[in-house]
Amino acid sequence: MVFSLPSSVRIVPQSTTLKSFGCRRRVATVRCETGELEVGSPIIVVEAPKMIKTADSVPCLRLNSGLVNPGDVGRIVSRKPKDVWAVRLAVGTYLIDGKYFKPLVLEDN
């Protein structure tokens, strides 16, 4: 199948910045809804997600058939867009939305 573009469509190279078009660059700050989390922070799952996605190079989306349960403890491996985190649990590394876990705070006695 061959695609053709109308002559009115202009393809912009990736190296072109917004300044060359006279636009102002907007800076948005992203605030984590789950508090101050960083790579290596311990977390605890508060609600089991219905679907889970593996954090492999080729992710696999599957139903959560009891792999991730409330009360499971893990560590954050990396941050992904839109408050999604790669979390290392005992059963593997999964991409979990921030609403399903909270930071685990260990109190010193």
Cα 49 to Cα 66, 84, 101: the distances in Å are 10, 12, 10
pLDDT at 22: 53
pLDDT at 56: 87
- Spell out, as residue ranges, where the chain has pLDDT lower than 50: 1-18, 20, 25-34
State the architecture of 34-103 in CATH terms.
Answer: Roll (2.30)
Q: 10 Å Cβ neighbour count for 45?
A: 20
pLDDT at 39: 87
Strands, sheet with 101-103, edge to edge from the N-terminal-most edge strand: 61-63, 51-54, 92-97, 84-89, 73-80, 42-45, 101-103
Residue 22: exposure state from Cβ atoms within 10 A (0-12, 13-18, ≥19): exposed
Placement of tokens 């984590």 in the chain: 32
Tell me the domain boundaries of the chain: 34-103
